[in-house]
Amino acid sequence: MALSLSLAASSGAPDEADRKITLTLPAPVVRELKRRMADEETTMRALVLEALADSGYSVARDELRDRRRRRR
């Protein structure tokens, strides 16, 4: 699995800025994630953060929400 890190723009404090990661995952896992995204009408980011929180990582509750803008 490949992993790379780079700084992403964020409006938060510099030490708490969001970071961008790129992962290479098995195709069946990606398909399952995409299915869940559609079923739950959420984002990949929200699914990954939820899984990390469920695994014991410290994730702020407000980070688990879908940050996309809603269509009117």
Tokens matching residue 67: 């940050």
Residue-wise pLDDT for 28-38, tens only, equals 999 999 999 99
Residue 23 parent element (H or E): strand 19-23
13 in any annotated domain: no
Count the domains in the chain: 1
Residue 34 domain flag: yes
Distance CA 48, CA 37 (A): 11
Q: How confident is the model at residue 61 (pLDDT cuts 50, 70, 90)?
A: confident
6 φ, ψ (degrees, to nearest 5): -150, 150
The pTM of this model reads: 0.67
User: 43, 66 in Cβ contact below 8 A?
Assistant: yes
CA 13 to chain centre: 19
For residue 71, being part of any structural domain is answered with no
Expressed as residue numbers, the domain containing 58 is: 3-7+18-64
